[in-house]
């Protein structure tokens, strides 16, 4: 849609400037970019388009805050109190945060409230609680020496996040980084920068000192690249596509060899054996697995691998559930699905669907844009059957509500197809034989496996992938390891 056709929505004002050193400020260049509501096509706000000058200022502020120990030097219990106050403030601002998330990236308001805001707050509370519970070690050396193994914060951590769960993805990185005493520069996705800026404001209000948590909205090729290449950033925690993840490895090698943690794309296989107890229950799980959040999930159940003996029965059931996931107005509390994040992304999804049709796969349901009268970017829940495991439909991450069904004969073949992509993030197996299911679970090359369930989630469990889905884990106590270094201190006794 041409800029001239857009008009601003009438909603409460959003934070639109960068947060650097405790103050909101425009980009040094004065440039902005549009934050668009993908459900209407209208501009919500003009957001500071930060570039290398702003990123440099943010990194300098973060470095100064780290070196004078205004955060890392606090008593851990004090850092804990501040992070917990931050979590409480997120809960207290639940309605505004949820509405902003929905307006900025199109997800249903009910999900934004009950999932995104809650999980972000819970994440800050969880890692806040860790501040005074992480110990160093005394190594078992000889009696005339004392060898301490200290855990020290890294310094300045750059967090670069995607648009599908803007607040949660930010929280998964920022919370453990802050808990360990680091300073942070967060670069949210250009499609959905608004809640990150609001989080920055709430962090200040909670008592996170100026300069410790900075937010630099901007384009990936400008602000993201500048952060990746910065010589004074100690680590990058990235969630996004495999393609951009590769850039961050290059940025590191072209700059200061900063460590890089990558949570990347996926092509989850949802394997259904012939002996499942309840096909209706399986169908519900598959439909939710692929259509929830408009399919914009790194763990979306995008490949249904089903034993050929029950394939038709299951495909019929999943297709019958698709209308329940038809997108609605994201602000309608009854909507189960909303808009996809942008018109550009809608175009990518529709192109992948067209490629699927051309490949000879059978389009069972969906396949089109819907709600076009709204002016927004919506895609109907889509199911393809008879998909070849080697085809683009089965190999490429579409990141939309598009299910590819692949038949198999026996679990051996299922495992081979499931592992036959470059990705290794999520996988699921459903079977009436729990032992067989667990054997399959062990053979999946994936970081997260579901047995007779899907998308179970808890902050206490590690989340991340293998192969080209990246490395490093978000969530759980294990995530803390990414944000600290071990220092050995020897003393002669
Ligand atoms: P993306 O890779 O396009 O962008 C992610 C971030 O990188 C954004 O902040 C973007 O501005 C920035 N960026 C883009 N190009 C850049 C460049 N050249 N240099 C530096 N920074 C750049 O991803 P997206 O479209 O925002 O998100 C969707 C992707 O995220 C999917 O592939 C999805 O699977 C993945 N994802 C993975 C997980 C996980 O935990 N593994 C979770 C959510 C999303």
List the one residue out of 25, 44, 49 whose CA is nearest residue 100. Answer: 44
Q: At 46, give phi and psi (nearest 5°).
A: -105, 125
Atom 4 in ligand 1: residue holding the nearest Cα: 240
Q: Is-contact 220 188, C-beta < 8 A?
A: no
Mutate to test the pocket of ligand 1, among 244, 297, 397 (most ligand atoms within 8 A of CB): 244
Q: Are 90 and 66 in contact (CB under 8 A)?
A: no
* Residue 11 pLDDT: 63
Q: What is the pLDDT along the chain (493 residues), one digit of tens a residue?
A: 333 333 345 566 899 999 999 999 999 999 999 999 999 999 999 999 999 999 999 999 999 999 999 999 999 999 999 999 999 999 999 999 999 999 999 999 999 999 999 999 999 999 999 999 999 999 999 999 999 999 999 999 999 999 999 999 999 999 999 999 999 999 999 999 999 999 999 999 999 999 999 999 999 999 999 999 999 999 999 999 999 999 999 999 999 999 999 999 999 999 999 999 999 999 999 999 999 999 999 999 999 999 999 999 999 999 999 999 999 999 999 999 999 999 999 999 999 999 999 999 999 999 999 999 999 999 999 999 999 999 999 999 999 999 999 999 999 999 999 999 999 999 999 999 999 999 999 999 999 999 999 989 999 999 999 999 999 999 999 999 999 999 999 999 9
Token pair recorded at residue 31: 């440039």
Check: CB of residue 39 under 8 Å from CB of residue 339.
yes
Note if 263 is an active site residue: yes
Pocket test for ligand 1, best of 52, 240, 296, 476 (most atoms within 8 A of CB): 240
DSSP 8-state class, residue 452: S
CA distances from 195 to 13, 37, 40, 105, 169 (A): 12, 13, 19, 10, 11
Question: What's the CA-to-centroid distance between 457 and ligand 1, angstroms?
Answer: 21
d(CA 149, CA 138): 6
Ligand 1 atom at shortest distance from the alpha carbon of 241: 32
Closest atom, ligand 1, to C-alpha of 240: 30
| Residue 51 CA to ligand 1 centre (angstroms) | 18
Spatial separation of the C-alpha atoms in residues 55 and 159, rounded to whole Å: 12
pLDDT at position 10 is 53
User: Is 243 designated active site?
Assistant: no
Query: Under a CB-based contact definition with an 8 Å cutoff, are residues 239 and 179 in contact?
Result: no
> Which position among 190, 222, 263, 397 bears the catalytic label?
263
Ligand 1 nearest-atom number relative to CA 341: 25
For residue 470, the ligand 1 atom closest to its alpha carbon is 41
* Separation of CA 16 and ligand 1 centre (Å): 21
pLDDT at 300: 98
Token couple for 187: 């670069």
Tell me what pLDDT residue 12 has. Answer: 62
| CB-defined site of ligand 1, < 6 Å | 160-164, 169, 187, 189-190, 220-221, 224-225, 228, 239-241, 244, 247, 263-266, 298, 397, 399, 425, 465, 469-470
Residue 371 tokens read as 């709600």
229 C-beta neighbours (distance < 10 Å), count: 19
CA of 215 to the centre of ligand 1 (A): 17
Answer for the pair 242, 469: CB distance below 8 angstroms, yes or no: yes
Which of 164, 100, 94, 35 shows the shortest CA–CA distance to 331? 100
| Closest ligand 1 atom to 425 CA | 41
Contacts of 266 by beta carbon, 8 Å cutoff, 6+ apart: 298, 299, 300, 302, 397, 423, 424, 425, 426, 465, 469
CA of 238 to the centre of ligand 1 (A): 8
* Residue whose CA lies nearest to ligand 1 atom number 30: 240
CA distance 83 to 105: 26
User: Considering the entire predicted model, what is its pTM?
Assistant: 0.97
Hey, what are 154's tokens?
């890294």
């Amino acid at each position: 849609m041409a800029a001239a056709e857009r008009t601003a929505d009438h909603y409460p004002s959003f934070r639109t400037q960068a947060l650097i050193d405790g103050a909101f400020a425009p980009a040094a260049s004065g440039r902005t970019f549009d934050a668009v509501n993908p459900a209407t096509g209208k501009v919500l706000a003009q957001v500071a388009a930060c570039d290398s000058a702003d990123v440099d200022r943010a990194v300098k502020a973060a470095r100064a805050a780290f070196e004078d120990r205004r955060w890392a030097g606090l008593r851990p219990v004090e850092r804990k109190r501040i992070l917990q106050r931050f979590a409480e403030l997120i809960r207290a601002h639940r309605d505004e945060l949820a509405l902003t998330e929905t307006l900025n990236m199109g997800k249903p308001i009910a999900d934004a409230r009950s999932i995104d805001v809650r999980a972000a707050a819970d994440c800050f509370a969880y890692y806040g609680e860790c501040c005074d519970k992480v110990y160093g070690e005394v190594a078992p050396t000889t009696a005339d020496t004392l060898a301490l193994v200290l855990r020290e914060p890294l310094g300045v951590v750059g967090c670069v996040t995607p648009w599908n769960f803007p607040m949660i993805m930010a929280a998964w990185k920022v919370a453990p980084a802050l808990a360990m005493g680091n300073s942070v520069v967060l670069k949210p996705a250009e499609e959905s920068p608004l809640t990150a800026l609001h989080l920055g404001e709430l962090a200040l209000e909670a008592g996170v000192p100026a300069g410790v948590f900075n937010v630099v909205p901007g384009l990936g090729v400008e602000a993201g690249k500048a952060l990746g290449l910065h010589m004074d950033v100690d680590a990058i925690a990235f969630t996004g596509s495999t393609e951009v993840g590769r850039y961050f490895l290059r940025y590191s090698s072209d700059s200061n060899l900063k460590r890089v943690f990558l949570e990347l794309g996926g092509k989850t296989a949802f394997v259904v054996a012939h002996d499942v107890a309840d096909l209706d229950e399986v169908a519900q799980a598959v439909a939710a697995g692929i259509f929830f959040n408009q399919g914009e999930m790194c763990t979306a159940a995008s490949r249904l691998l089903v034993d050929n003996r029950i394939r038709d029965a299951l495909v019929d059931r999943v297709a019958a559930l698709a209308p329940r996931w038809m997108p609605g107005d994201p602000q309608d509390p009854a909507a189960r699905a909303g808009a996809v994040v942008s018109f550009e992304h809608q175009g990518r999804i529709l192109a992948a669907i067209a490629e699927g049709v051309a490949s000879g796969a059978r389009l069972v349901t969906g396949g089109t844009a819907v709600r076009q009268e709204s002016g927004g970017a919506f895609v109907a829940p889509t199911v393809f059957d008879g998909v070849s495991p080697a085809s683009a439909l089965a190999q490429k991450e579409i990141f939309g509500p598009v299910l590819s069904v692949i038949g198999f004969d026996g679990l051996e073949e299922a495992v081979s197809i499931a592992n036959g992509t470059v990705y290794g993030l999520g996988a699921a197996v459903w079977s009436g034989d729990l032992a067989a299911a667990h054997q399959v679970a062990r053979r999946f090359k994936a970081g997260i496996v579901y047995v007779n369930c899907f998308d179970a989630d808890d902050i206490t469990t590690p989340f991340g992938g293998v192969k080209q889905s990246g490395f490093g884990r978000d969530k759980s106590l294990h995530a803390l390891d990414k944000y600290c270094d071990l220092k050995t201190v020897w003393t002669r006794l």
